[in-house]
Structure 1
């Protein structure tokens, strides 16, 4: 079973980070991608667009040996940002520069995409409220059967693209939060899945 969530995803992520990181945490050193870097299948889609495929290509560093995407690389994927702002994270003393894109493709229809940077390297990425078609695979029964330790990619393979993603990485911590709004048997329910270091750690649900 999974618990009922009574606070928003953004607040959940903030509280998790506050508990798991220190104010002195710094992003990992940028290195060339290793053989374990996640690869996304090529397609006939234009290279520069705010799509879910390009969102998945953006890397966040977790350890000193990890590769983190640079601002230049993100702009090469997404193009010019709609606007910029500053975002305060409990892991960093100073607000981080955050770039926002709203001109998304159908794969992220209606979503707002944000990427935050520290010293020119991506340390947080998210998209919110993507208006995706109802996926018949997403049922409360299937979510209940997901076991702790299931990886991020395994969950997405089983459930399909989520309506929202929040991913924050510091030197020693990677937290991913997925939200599914299109639940076949409970259309007024949102399912939230929290991953630590790419492994499922928590399942919650809330009313829409």
Structure 2
């Protein structure tokens, strides 16, 4: 009479053990190698002997470095890079994109790079409050599309000379991403 219930309980207990079993190797449990990062001048031989590893930006790239790397990847695209007839980006477009991201004011939310099938490079930001799509037009000019998801309001502007804009303009542009009610709380 209780046999099916007992079998089900034993099976469930076995499944819980399998699902929660610890793997043989876990970081931060004492079996991972310890790496000590220190500042200072030392030779490679000293570092190897002491287990010290020099840290530089090639091992830990910044967010800007990662975006530049993505833009360099776009530069390697050939025509038909997507298998559907996409155009490759021009060298000038890649250069202008790098110039834009390198000049982006510090401390503000960085965008995600993107490329269109026409070979246009752009950047976008997205949050629950809003969306921004910025396209590099060349010659220091960009086009900008914003959507406020709270109000449904869209805005578009092109031929914006981003080099003439100050930090305040960037803060204003990115404000569509923030929920003002959350900021007030």
> TM-score when scaled to structure 1?
0.26
Counting strand residues as a fraction of each chain, which structure ranks higher? 1
Counting helix residues as a fraction of each chain, which structure ranks higher? 2
> TM-score when scaled to structure 2?
0.28
Q: Decide which structure has the larger Cα Rg and report it.
A: 2
Higher relative contact order (Cα pairs below 8 Å, separated by 6+ residues) = 1
